[in-house]
Homo-oligomer: A and B are copies of this chain.
Amino acid sequence: MSVLFHHLRVHQVFGANTDVGKTLLTAALARASSLTGKAVYYLKPVSTGPLQDADDEYIKRFAGPKASSIQSRCLFRYSDPVSPHLAAQREHGAEEAPVSSGSSCSAHILTASVPKLSIPSDGTLVNAIRSHIRDCARATRVHAHMYVETAGGVHSPTLSGSTQIDAYRPLFLPTILIGDHKLGGISATISSYESLLVRGYIVDAVMVFREEYYRNWEYLRSYFAERDINVAVVDPPPSKLENPARNLSSTDKYYRNIVPESQQGPVFDLLNHLDNRHATRIEELSTMPQRTLDHIWWPFVQHGLVREEKDVNVIDSASGDEFSIFNGHRVQTPADSTSSLLEPQFDGSASWWTQALGHAHPALTMAAARAAGRYGHVMFPQGSHLPALRLAERLVKSGPGKGWASRAFISDNGSTGMEVALKMALRAFSVREREHWSNKESTGEKPKNLGILGLKGSYHGDTIGAMDACEDSGVYTCEWHDAKGYWFDPPTIGIRNDKMVVSLPPAIAALTESGEVEINEGRIQEIYDAESRLDSNLADVYRTFIQDMLIKITSQGDLKLAALVLEPVVMGAGGMIFVDPLFQRVLVDSVRTSPCFSRTVRKEGSWSGLPVIFDEVFTGLYRLGMESTTEVLGVKPDISVNAKILTGGLVPLAVTLTNESIFAAFYGEDKAIALLHGHSYTAYPVGCEVANETLKIIEKMAQGDAWAQAKAAWQVGEDQPPRVWSFWDPAFIGALSKCEAVGEVMTMGTVLALKIAGDSQGYQSHSAQKLLEGLRVAAKDDDASFGINYRTLGNVAYFMLSLNTPADKVRHIEDRIWRTLRPAEV
């Protein structure tokens, strides 16, 4: 939503308080801009109070001498001289016109304005400002300055009731803060500055009156100098005179003094500084692509394929689900010279599956800040602090560990969380094996070559231990990768030609009556009720297949299976593979009861057969519309891992949950048998507190009706199975699955995956990338349009939403995908 222009420098003016000289100093700036020959635009988005005192009128009057070169506007005006939210409430409450007509400003109110009798929303307000800025940028060919003046203090509520600092944040305009010169004003200025920083605003300068008794300017100048922020100190205005003519003349004189024709003094120094900051910002953005290519080594990127500046996605800021990206390399034609250098881009992979609440959510920022402010990081071994303890208790007692887990081990990311899980499972298995042998008074046979049982296509992270739990497919690999285990080729689920299809691998298909590799198992809700399918013929086929295979694996070779490791329901990095949940359910049940693991089969409350690990790093915490995939599978693991969404898409953190029978394998008097794993920042308070805040917000959404519309579209009622639903529209999904270019589609929760038809090259393929390329760029002639940043996994493209992406945005993306795939029909 942010905009930036070469020839139009825009600053937003915030006040540290009301009555600190915001309009007066803005007029001084406007006057100085005008004197240096710039076109000047003044915008007061929302104005309250009588028209004769209106700020836009004041600016017109005093920001001269070339008043004609100044365009002064307000967008929404209310006559009540109170906070805008209250003025709007009172005015609309009284059923009058939403925007006061009859004022000289009414002509400037945007025509695409709000419906009568309703209070303008933040979106309406922000769109109106953005449109106005764009209009000004298009209208002027000379260099221009624009000042957007806010009302009251930084956190004064705007029309809809949210505070300005949050409401205007999507615009991400650089700011000037007008400091408070009065007693107590040092505090007001610094606090306002901090509130701006906490929203990520660029604060280019502070302006304050030179008041000599309290001398706030002196303190503020040194305070902000330490923070590399320029403070302009300006003489205070003369006292107001009773006689209007004399007052006017006195004010005129004042402006001639602080903004003299000689172009000297603090206001002009500030003007130069603001121009420099504007130029520096654009310069920095312009050089970032090449500097990035020179010094950054990207994750999972073949640099040989990304060598040009235009290939670098420079992100200037982010808000909601959108990046604001630099497009300078594209805006080079003369016709484009008035285009914004920043454009919105939808974060279509939820920033590698991490986003849940939108970028830069203020509640998460504050959570991070308050934990940082209270603790910094404090060491965790033998320690405890509230953020970590509350997180552990929440996950164990009422989160994904509910009903089975007793303990939480905290680490830094999904990969380390999985390494911890593997260490836990392997040890638990070994201890029980050792017990078996020591009971038999034999020490000859010791478990060696421990390996895991899993599914082909699984992926558990990039550290080498986590990689070793996956098949070496020849793609994600490294010199030390040594795949340890056996991986079943699983049956998968997808939608083809608007029909749910279970695709069986040949070895399993051969065991069915029909021998078909594609079968119909009913509607999506039926398929994802694994429990109810346990009596089916297909379940028997799965059981036979798995048991036979287990006997085969365990009776030969020197591999000893020691753990079952699954990404339940969907294997993400492997290509968004939706596995038949019945197969995973039968697999878990089989492992727990198989005679192959009879030594380690135990009774209730303890792990049995093999320790079962659910890697829910990607699938957990409502990414798929449910808190945990155990709801679909109907079984609980012995160990599970959560990460990604856990911290709402702000900072890294992982939690490995486990039951007490796993913990017992490490418990004793000997330090060497403890779980000797722990990163320096284990359970760092910032990460834990952000996770707590995230879970609180998500819980509120899950328990409220935030998702009611999407659930209803999938005919999902309250708390009753079937439970599978998606934020994506079922009709769109159905239509998509009929597209010629699309082989298969699948969706669940926030995820939409589509496989390109007729391409079996997998990860190495570029087909999905190629087919959808058009999505990356915004529609040219549509201000509301945005580019879509999406990721592909070879022949699979996927799109991922946050848990609070607005429905109209989802519809827009569906429409864009549809137009890209079926251009002929549009």
Contact = CB atoms under 8 A, between A and B. Distances in A.
A85 B296 CA distance: 46
B351 A362 contact: no
Interface stretch (A50-58, A662-670, A733-741): A662-670
Interface residues of A, number: 171
B364 A479 contact: no
Given A197-B370, A199-B373, A376-B650, A680 B353 contact: yes
A297 B409 contact: yes
Nearest to A394: B295
Contacts of A461: 679
Contacts of A674: 300-304
Given A296-B407, A365-B369, 15 more contacts: A156-B184, A157-B219, A288-B386, A295-B407, A297-B663, A300-B676, A304-B670, A313-B383, A353-B680, A365-B372, A413-B416, A413-B681, A416-B416, A419-B464, A651-B684
B318 A375 contact: yes
A82 B353 CA distance: 53
A284 interface: yes
Nearest to A371: B200
17 contacts: A152-B184, A153-B188, A191-B194, A194-B366, A199-B373, A288-B386, A302-B667, A304-B669, A359-B378, A360-B375, A364-B372, A413-B413, A423-B480, A430-B479, A482-B482, A651-B684, A652-B680
Nearest to A194: B195
A389 B293 CA distance: 10
Contacts of A374: 172, 199-201, 317-318, 360
Most chain B CB atoms below 10 A, which of A161, A288, A304, A383: A383
Contacts of A190: 155, 163, 195
Contacts of A155: 186-191
A520 B184 CA distance: 64
A545 interface: no
Interface string A290-330: 01101111111111111000011111111000010000000
A153 B379 contact: no
Nearest to A183: B18
A562 to B, nearest CB: 7
Given A376-B650, A389-B296, A392-B295, A370 B198 contact: yes
A484 B480 contact: yes
A643 B679 CA distance: 11
A300 B652 contact: no
A-B pairs, top 3 by smallest CB distance, nearest first, are A299-B678, A153-B187, A200-B374
A296 B351 contact: no
A381 B300 contact: yes
B381 A360 contact: no
A710 B172 CA distance: 46
A726 interface: no
Contact of A669 (B302, B383, B396, B464): B302
A97 interface: no
A75 B482 CA distance: 69
A12 to B, nearest CB: 15
A783 interface: no
A338 interface: no
A658 interface: yes
A464 B298 CA distance: 23
Given A373-B200, A468-B480, A347 B679 contact: no
Nearest to A423: B478
A132 interface: no
Given A408-B295, A663-B297, A684-B650, A315 B479 contact: no
B376 A666 contact: no
A601 to B, nearest CB: 20
A284 B389 CA distance: 11
B153 A191 contact: yes
A694 B737 CA distance: 51
